[in-house]
Amino acid sequence: MSNSRVVSAVKEADFSETTAWKDFLALIKIGIVNSNFITTFTGLWLAMYFTNAQFLGSLDIMLLTMIGSSLIVAGSCSINNYIDRDIDHLMERTKNRPTVTGRVQPSRVLALGLGLIAIGQIMLFMTTITAGIIGLIGVVSYVVFYTMWSKRRYVSNTIVGSISGAVPPLIGWAAVDANLGAMPLALFLIMFVWQPPHFYAIAMRRVEEYRAAGIPMLPVVKGFAVTKKHMLIWVIALFPLPFLLSSLGTAFLVLATILNIGWLALSFAGYRMKDDVKWATLMFVYSLNYLTILFVGMVLITFI
């Protein structure tokens, strides 16, 4: 074989491997997996902290929980891709998914999703029964109640989808302490209330794509003015929730309040800005930073 053919074959193999890996990451929606990893770990860490669990003595629980929760999220996202393959080609941000381009057969995507969920659930049940059940609730709420039932039918689909997105910190906590109390409930509520303004911001930026796909997101059905009001209400609803975590101390409450005030100020700014899409982009970026800073802050505050 000539040198040029060897080089060509190597490049083709590298491209194939790179494409396969990128397709896999797209199928499991790695961004969602990563964000849920953070919130799951926070729930796990806080449970260990408040129950005085030994870090080294809990490594098996940590690994089972973090890997298991990541697998069920990845599997659920894969099934979401499988179900939505008929409309994803209508949206710019989803038209290149491997389920749309045909790079991966739908049957393989479904098998991947079910396999990841099965393995992930087994790992969660190896921690506590409660963690396994909560994980299962998260899977069913995302795949059945959100993707299959509400997403294409109701403007409240974002609220329904927020249930599954709020489950990860509960899984993390339950893996260590199956007796769920006020603190893990507070983590769930923060995640639940955070999601509507976050996803409404995305919907505003992609409103025409959702309209073309026939998905009744709030900005599509009610318009930007109503969406802004809803986002403001949800942001205001976040203010009292950190006080349910008062056991974390004053420093955390100050941090959370500052973050909430910043988000509230940005929410009001939407009534003055003329470019609604630009404002929605700012809200989206702020929401990502809000979640990361708040949950990482919960962990760091335990070292003070």
Q: What is the rounded CA–CA span in Å between residue 80 and residue 65?
A: 22
Mean local confidence (pLDDT), 136-160: 96
Q: Which of 44, 32, 30, 75 is nearest to 169 (CA)?
A: 44
**Terminal CA-CA length for the chain:** 64
Could you confirm whether domain 17-180 is CATH 1.10.357.140? Answer: yes
pLDDT at 96 over 90: no
Percent above pLDDT 90 for the chain: 82
Each residue of 32-71: pLDDT tens digit?
Answer: 999 999 999 999 999 999 999 988 888 999 999 999 999 9
Exposure string of 157-196, with b = 16+ CB inside 10 Å and e = fewer, is bbbbbbbbbbbbbbbbbbbbbeeeeebbebbbbbbbbbbb
Q: Does pLDDT of 99 surpass 90?
A: no
Band (122; pLDDT cuts 50, 70, 90)? very high
Residue 130, pLDDT > 70, answer yes
* CATH 1.20.120 placement within the chain: 181-304
What pLDDT, on a 0 to 100 scale, did the predictor assign at position 265? 97
Mean pLDDT of all residues in 83-97: 87
Class of the CATH domain delimited by 181-304: mainly alpha
Confidence band of 89 (pLDDT split at 50, 70, 90): confident
Q: What digits encode the pLDDT tens for the residues 237-261?
A: 999 999 999 999 999 999 999 999 9
pLDDT at 56: 82
Whether residue 13 has pLDDT greater than 70 = no
- Residue 95's pLDDT is 84
Residue 18 banded pLDDT, cuts 50, 70, 90:
low
- CATH 1.10.357.140 segments of the chain: 17-180
The predicted-structure confidence for 205-214, as pLDDT tens digits, reads as follows 999 999 999 9
For position 3, what pLDDT does the model report?
42
Residue 6 has what pLDDT?
A: 37
Mean pLDDT taken over the chain: 92
User: Between 120 and 180, whose confidence is greater?
Assistant: 120
Q: Are 265 and 214 in contact (CB under 8 A)?
A: no
Give residue 15's pLDDT.
40
Q: What is the pLDDT of residue 11?
A: 39
Q: What is the pLDDT of residue 39?
A: 96
Mean pLDDT value across residues 139-145 = 97
User: What is the secondary structure of the chain as a DSSP string?
Assistant: --HHHHHHHHHHHHHHHHHHHHHHHHHHTHHHHHHHHHHHHHHHHHHHHHTT--TGGGHHHHHHHHHHHHHHHHHHHHHHHHHGGGTGGGSTTTTTSHHHHTSS-HHHHHHHHHHHHHHHHHHHHTT-HHHHHHHHHHHHIIIIIIIIIITTT-TTHHHHHHHHHHSHHHHHHHHH-SS--HHHHHHHHHHHHHHHHHHHHHHHHTHHHHHHHT---HHHHH-HHHHHHHHHHHHHHHTTGGGGGGGG-HHHHHHHHHHHHHHHHHHHHTTT-S-HHHHHHHHHHHHHHHHHHHHHHHHHGGG-
- What is the pTM (predicted TM-score) of this model? 0.91
Residue 104 predicted with pLDDT over 60: yes
What's the pLDDT score for residue 91? 85
